Amino acid sequence: MSTPQTVTPELRQWIVAQAQAGCQPEAVLQAMLASGWEEDVAVEALENTLRQHLEEHARQNNLPPPSIVPEPDLRDSPGAVWAGDREVKIVATMRNPRVVVFGGLLSEEECDELVALSRPRLVRSETVDNNTGGSEVNAARTSEGMFFQRGENPLCARIEARIAALVNWPLENGEGLQILRYGPGAEYRPHHDYFDPAQPGSATILKRGGQRVGTIVMYLNAPAKGGGTVFPDVFLEVAPVKGNAVFFSYDRPHPMTRTLHGGQPVVEGEKWVATKWLREGRFE
Ligand code: PD2
Ligand code: ZN
Nearest CA to ligand 1 atom 11: 275
Out of 130-144, 151-165, 177-191, 269-283, which region has the weakest mean confidence (pLDDT)? 130-144
The C-alpha R_g of the chain, in whole angstroms, comes to 21
Question: Which residues are CB-neighbours of 169 under 8 A, at least 6 positions away?
Answer: 70, 163, 214, 278
pLDDT at position 208 is 94
pLDDT at position 130 is 64
Pocket test for ligand 1, best of 217, 266, 277 (most atoms within 8 A of CB): 217
Nearest CA to ligand 1 atom 4: 263
Distance CA 2, CA 10 (A): 22
Nearest CA to ligand 1 atom 10: 275
Question: Which residues are CB-neighbours of 61 under 8 A, at least 6 positions away?
Answer: none
Domain ranges of the chain: 9-60, 80-279
Distance CA 239, CA 43 (A): 38
User: Strand locations in 75-227, DSSP E?
Assistant: 80-82, 87-94, 98-103, 123-124, 126-128, 135-137, 144-147, 178-182, 188-191, 212-219, 225-226
Per cent of the chain over pLDDT 90 is 77
Mean pLDDT of 178-184: 95
Pocket test for ligand 1, best of 118, 142, 229 (most atoms within 8 A of CB): 229
Nearest CA to ligand 1 atom 9: 262
Q: What is the pTM of this model?
A: 0.88
User: Using a 6 Å cutoff on CB, does residue 244 contact ligand 1?
Assistant: no
Q: Is residue 156's pLDDT more than 90?
A: yes
User: Using a 6 Å cutoff on CB, does residue 216 contact ligand 1?
Assistant: no
Q: Is residue 245's pLDDT more than 70?
A: yes
Mean pLDDT of 249-259: 97
Is residue 259 within a helix (H) or strand (E), and if so which, with residue range?
none
User: Using a 6 Å cutoff on CB, does residue 262 contact ligand 1?
Assistant: yes
Atom of ligand 1 nearest to the CA of 277: 12
Nearest CA to ligand 1 atom 6: 262
Alpha-carbon distances of 243 from 12, 113, 151, rounded to whole Å: 44, 12, 20
Angle between helices 39-60 and 25-34 (to 10 degrees): 140
Atom of ligand 1 nearest to the CA of 215: 12
Q: Is residue 277's pLDDT more than 80?
A: yes
Mean pLDDT of 126-139: 59
Higher-confidence position of 65 and 91: 91
Burial of 114-143, coded b for 16+ CB within 10 Å and e otherwise, reads bbebbeeeeeebeebbbeebeeeebeebbb
> In this structure, which CATH number among 1.20.1050.10, 3.30.420.10, 3.30.1540.10, 2.60.120.620 belongs to the domain 80-279?
2.60.120.620
pLDDT at position 171 is 98
Paired with 278 in beta bridges are: 174, 214
Per-residue pLDDT tens over the stretch 2-39: 667 888 989 999 998 998 888 888 889 999 999 999 99
Cβ atoms of 245 and 275 within 8 Å: the answer is no
User: Using a 6 Å cutoff on CB, does residue 193 contact ligand 1?
Assistant: yes
Q: Is residue 85's pLDDT more than 80?
A: yes
Nearest CA to ligand 1 atom 3: 263
Q: Which ligand has the minimum distance to the alpha carbon of residue 177? A: 1
Distance CA 4, CA 153 (A): 52
Is residue 281 within a helix (H) or strand (E), and if so which, with residue range?
none
Distance CA 204, CA 134 (A): 9
